Amino acid sequence: MTLTPTLIEEYDRAALNHDKTETATFGLGCFWGPEAQFGALAGVVRTRVGYAGGRKSDPTYHNLGDHTEVFQIEYNPAVLSYRELLSRVFENHRPNYQASKTQYQNIILLATPEQRETLNTFLSERGFAADAIGTRIERLLGFYPAEDYHQKHNLRTDPTLSDVFDDSGYDDETVRESPAAAKLNGYASGHDIPKDDHLQTALSRTV
């Protein structure tokens, strides 16, 4: 098996539909790195980067206003839990520190009462109080996808991988929402993807 347009298309068609996944949104500084790291995880189906946490309408990278760079994850709750995602998030930042620039701050954006309850339990077990740490904890009021050139940044800069999507006729939005692109973006950034993933077998023959 090699990495081909047909494999990419079949991988995406077989992926869990949006209505079968759950979504989590976090900010951990520049969004390129976390999108790649979390996209490589078993159970993560789709990723995208964008802007959230502020009140400005229709923010852009060059006119961000009071928003923060964030990454959004669609995941299979039968494989990966919100609590496990929180563990990863807290492994990747210092909760008692906060960047001064809003664009790169650490933030957990809660979309449901269940996420808030899970977070409160998680923090309590670690001796943290939500109102006494540097990490911002807020309700998700909206998510604005970032510009196309920010989506799957590491994949886009690796022609060996990105050319396969071009050959498949994927446009920018399709790449952004592609489960295969989420995994291969992680791989392009140096993260291991699950050994039992079909893409891993193809990569060993292609790259």
**In sequence order, what are the residues at sequence separation of 6 or more whose Cβ sits closer than 8 angstroms to the Cβ of residue 194?**
42, 200
Q: Kindly state the tokens that stand for 171.
A: 């446009």
One DSSP character per residue, 113-176 reads HHHHHHHHHHHHHTT--GGGSSSEEEE----EEPPGGGTTHHHHT-HHHHHHHHHTT--HHHHH
| 58 backbone dihedrals φ, ψ, rounded to 5° | 50, 60
Residues 9, 16, 30, 142: which is the catalytic one? 30
One DSSP character per residue, 26-49 reads EEESSSHHHHHHHHTSTTEEEEEE
Exposure string of 144-154, with b = 16+ CB inside 10 Å and e = fewer, is bebeeebbbbb
- Is residue 128 flagged as an active site residue? no
Cite the active site residues.
30
